[in-house]
Structure 1
Amino acid sequence: MKNRKPAPADPDYRAEVEAIYAELERRPLPRQCEMRTGCCHFRLAGHTPLLTRGEALHAAQGVRASGRKVLKPHPDGACPLLGRDGKCTIYKHRPFGCRTHFCAAAGGMYPRKHVADLIHRLEALDERLGGDGSRPLEGAIASALAER
């Protein structure tokens, strides 16, 4: 990992992240997220999504829009973005990994060949924003929240 200070957020990062997510939605891969949240229980599922800087900034915007300023760890090791009702509090701002990789009930992991170009776009944006590669969800979003 590189030790460099992140560049100030490029105001266009949001449009690029949203364009990547919109492109993903247009892909003809059968998926149906029914917000069951089994994939959000990281300790039980055995995985945690990794976020690039652009994704973390975008997710942090969703956290702020939900009325929170900080993330608090979930007591059972679940995603800190789950609300008291058990649903994602930033669903429209959820990261790429949450959209593509984790939920077996929604159709399982997207084959990398179908999303590699989008991953490369997220990585290029990360580099442009001075990020240091993908980081675990909680730390990535907490850092993005602390910046502002």
Structure 2
Amino acid sequence: MLTPRRMKNPKADPHIEIKAIYAEVERRPLPRQCAMRTGCCHFRLAGHTPLLTRGEALYAAQGVRASGRKALKPHPDGACPLLGRDGRCTIYTHRPFGCRTHFCAEAGGMYPRKHVADLIQRLEALDEQLGGSGSRPLEAAVSAALAEK
């Protein structure tokens, strides 16, 4: 069993661990056919919403602020509130783990858990260290993180 790598002081900057986890998932490419299809970003149609840990939500909120926004507005069609008017992700470099591991069936489906279990454990360990309460739906998690500062 793999043991998640622990941060020495996650409260100092949880973004460092999130970036490390996201960089690691990028080094584990599995065959994907995603070309910005955004079908998975239309949550109501896709039938699922990404769940974010506290660390992921804080990192996504940083991306939202960098895009010039202070809050999320629900998308009228039930799509991801992070989609811009051009239909593209406004926080692409800050997108959550679920988006990075392509839970979208059209792009190849979810990464098999065995390929990312250690990274999920790291996300969960960081969530615990940050006082999180487990994964939450994207909109609620990011909105709560935005409200903190």
Task: Give the match for residue 114 of structure 1.
Answer: 115
1:104 and 1:11 map into 2 onto residues whose CA distance is: 37
Aligned-residue offset at 1:103: 1.7
Equivalent position of 1:85 in the other structure: 86
What residue number does 1:102 align with?
103
| Separation in structure 1 between the aligned mates of residue 130 and residue 49 of structure 2, nearest angstrom | 23
Q: TM-score, normalised by structure 1?
A: 0.91
The AA in structure 2 aligned to 1:62 is G
Write the letter of the residue equivalent to 2:119. Answer: L
**Structure 2 CA distance for aligned equivalents of residues 92 and 10 of structure 1:** 22
Contact 2:56/2:97 (<8 A) preserved = yes
Structure 1 residues 1-148: aligned runs within 5 Å: 10-148=11-149
Structure 2: distance between partners of 1:27 and 1:101: 13
- For structure 2, the residue ranges without an aligned partner over 5 or more in a row are 1-9
Query: What corresponds to 2:6 in structure 1?
Result: none
Question: Distance between the aligned counterparts of 1:60 and 1:144, measured in 2?
Answer: 6
Aligned-pair distance for 1:104? 2.2
User: Once superposed, what is the RMSD of the aligned Cα atoms?
Assistant: 1.2
Residue pair 2:127, 2:133 contacting (<8 A) in 1 also: yes
Which whole-Å CA distance do the structure 1 matches of 2:90 and 2:103 have between them? 18
Give 1:107 deviation, angstroms: 2.0
Q: Which ranges of structure 1 fall in alignment gaps of 5 or more residues? A: 1-8
TM-score by length of 2: 0.90
Other structure's SS at 1:105 match: helix
| Runs (4+) off by over 4 Å | none
Tell me how far apart the structure 2 counterparts of residues 95 and 73 of structure 1 sit (CA, whole Å).
18
Question: How big is the shift at 1:32?
Answer: 4.2
What per-residue deviation string (whole Å, max 9, x for no partner) do you get for residues 110-129 of structure 1? 00011000000000000000
Distance apart, 1:12 and its partner CA? 2.6
Aligned length: 140
Q: Deviations over 1:5-27 (max 9, x none)?
A: xxxx7233101000000000111
